[in-house]
Amino acid sequence: MTKLMMGNDVAKAMKERLIQDVEALKANGVNPCLSIIRVGERPDDLAYERGAKKRMELVGITCKTIELSEDISQKELEDAIQKANEDTKIHGILMFSPLPGTLNEEKARQMIHPLKDVDGMNPVNAAKVFSGDPSGFAPCTPEAVLAMLDHYGIVLEGKRVVVIGRSKVVGRPLAMLLLARNATVTICHTRTKELEKTCREAEILIAAAGKANMVTKEMIGESAVVVDVGINVDADGNLCGDVDFEDVKQKASQISPVPKGVGSVTTSVLAEHVVRGAKYLNTVD
Ligand code: NAD
C-alpha cells in the first residue's frame, strides 16, 4: 500500500515547535518579523504572499509587505532593501523573484543582508549551502523537501537519490543539502541522457523540473520514495506536479501529492528561518 506524504501533517508538526520558539522570543522582548518585498502584482507572488502571511500569523510572527510598483527604478528597489536591512525590528527579508526585466536582480539579491536572507538569495548563503556550512540560509523549498523526508522517517544516509532539475533555487541547493546528509546524489536536467534509466535506479526520486506529469511509472524503481516539487497547470487548467500521481502511485512506496505536498511545508520553513534570524540577530546585538 502506497503511503502518502502530506504537507499539512509536516506543517502541523512544525507549527507546535514554532509557536514555542516564537513565545520564547517574545518573552525576551523580541517580536519576530518578516518583511516581504514584492515588485508588481504577479499572481504567483500574491498567492505565495497570502500563504506566507497566514502561516506567520498562525505561529505569531509579524509579516509586513513592502509593495513596490512594477516600474520602480533600481535605486528605489535598493533603497527599500537597505531600509529593511537597517530596521532592527525586521528579522527576515523575502524578495519575490523573478523581478521585472528592467531591474538588476543579481545586484538586488546581493544587497539582502545575509543574516536576514531567509530564502537564501544572497550569494553568501548560496556559498554556505554549497560548502556544507549549516550556518547559512538555504532556499526554503529544498529545505521543505528535507523536512518532509525527515517527518516521514526516511533515512538519507547512503541512499541513492536522484533530483530532476538543476535550478539555483531548487535543484542545485537541494542536491547540496542531500549530500550534506550523506546521500549519494545524481542531478538530472534537460541534457541528461537516459533519464528514465537513471531515475529508475533511485531509492528516492525528487522531481523539480516544472514539467506537468513528466514522471511516469516507467521511471520509478520498485518501492521508491517519490517527492514532487513541481507546481504546474495541466491541459485542463488544474494544478498538478511533475509526477503523474495516479500512474506513479501504483509503484512508489511513498509519494507526495500536488497540491497539498511540499508546497504546504515551504512557508513553515520560511517561519523557521525568521525565528532563526530573530534569535541570531538578537544574540549578536
Ligand atoms: P526552473 O525552470 O528554473 O528549473 C527547472 C529545471 O528542471 C532545469 O534545471 C531543467 O534543466 C530541468 N528540466 C526541465 N525539464 C526537464 C526535463 N524534461 N527533463 C529533465 N530535466 C528537466 O524551475 P524551478 O524554479 O527549479 O522550479 C521547478 C518546479 O518547482 C516548478 O514547477 C516550480 O513551480 C516548482 N516550485 C515549487 C516550489 C514549492 O514550494 N513547492 C517552490 C519553487 C518552485
What is the 3 state secondary structure string of 176-190? HHHHHCCCEEEEECC
Query: Is the model's pLDDT at 266 over the cut of 70?
Result: yes
Matching residue, cell 532539475 = 165
Is 211 near ligand 1, meaning CB less than 6 Å away?
Answer: yes
Q: Which of 247, 274, 281, 225 is nearest to 94 (CA)?
A: 274
State the average pLDDT over residues 183-196.
Answer: 98
| pLDDT of the residue at 285 | 44
Q: What's the half-sphere exposure (Cβ side, CA atoms, 13 Å) at 267?
A: 26
| pLDDT of the residue at 284 | 47
Is 166 near ligand 1, meaning CB less than 6 Å away?
Answer: yes
Nearest-CA residue for atom 41 of ligand 1: 263
Is 229 near ligand 1, meaning CB less than 6 Å away?
Answer: yes
User: What is the average pLDDT score of the chain?
Assistant: 97
- What's the pTM? 0.96
Percent of the chain predicted with pLDDT > 90: 97
Is 141 near ligand 1, meaning CB less than 6 Å away?
Answer: yes
Q: Which of 77, 62, 59 is nearest to 22 (CA)?
A: 59
Pocket test for ligand 1, best of 45, 143, 164, 216 (most atoms within 8 A of CB): 164
Is 266 near ligand 1, meaning CB less than 6 Å away?
Answer: yes
